[in-house]
Structure 1
């Protein structure tokens, strides 16, 4: 567990909301209890409550925002009093959201832990990625094994998320939309001394997620064809990525790239590589 990230994701936003509300209470309504002051605005009181319970919430902040947006829209459409109340308190509520979201976004810049694959595969060929985005922060190492297999281990922060349940699904979707998945592949495949060059290769999805039992540990893995663009698109290998979430806002990815036709036949989900990696953690 990344303790600093957990604090920045859980306690820092919660503390900021409470201190801000306490200062408003001290300024305007000290005749009532502070807890009554919080309950008086169910929107802000609800934000404080779910932030306090964020460890229990799959997808964390992003689930919170989704629920609050839908709940707010429905209440505004159905209740005239809610529309009047929102018009009166829109500034305060918007500021509460800004405080909450900004703290979570800042936490995404905190450094991730170091990949542990050196215990299995020795010294990596690439120990840092020049093209890695600053947000969310990540650490990555790449190995080229004696059998020609490329192994990439990535530790990535999951801003706004502390609970590992559904985290692989969320990070996988973000990776696809942001282009991080393709960038990770291109950087790793540049190690292959191929006359066509790494930019001639692209990914074609075989499936976007299957749960596999890795020696008693059930993890999500995604599977892609490596396509060679040479007077048409031809499969030249496959890439498997395993998504191992952890409590506290970090996910560990292991990507195995292997050339050839059906290279993972007899080794489903790149089982042999993954089990060694899991045992080293």
Structure 2
């Protein structure tokens, strides 16, 4: 049976999601932030004959994320997505789960990324001991949003869209994200952000350095600060990457691959 979940299902739902908290950080973060009674967010669950959760599906605006522990009613969830009449939509999630929808839905462009996590500051602390302490790392405020966007726009690898600014500002306002940065001569030259921060984890996004200031260790210094701060708060850090060279940098700081994440855009 598939039905919409409510606050009365919260304890069972979170127990289910915490079996793989990193893969479920978006679902956990959205529920903690927005609950069960908004018009832009819904969560459904498939329950077995004894009332135990087998699978869940989150809708956040036009984005859908499924999660399951084993076999589940893929066709039933696919029908739900179609019945919401939200088009176009984004479908994303743990690859082994979300790719089962390919036979039931007409999906957008497929992108598969490595998914990794960091739950220790051991390697970050080792790196910090070797850092140039003349590098000052600052924490961004709402007043810095436009500077962060301008930095990203100067970098060819980054694609910024109109909603990028809105999302960044919202994450700072709601404290579901933070940004650390380095500046030289008053100009922001490197930054990294978190998003979807919740009580258990946070996603690292927007790691970037101005081309004129690369090979100086700025990105690694900012990542080190993020790792130290978030680990001290009891949170696991997660990130996506599809560039093996970038992945090797993250792994030196304690990240490890735990699977892949697929998005259909």
Task: State if a TM-score over 0.5 links the two structures.
Answer: no
> Higher helix fraction: Structure 1 or Structure 2?
1
With a CA cutoff of 8 Å and minimum separation of 6, indicate the structure with the bigger relative contact order.
Answer: 2
The normalised TM-score by structure 2 is 0.26
Higher-Rg member (1/2): 1
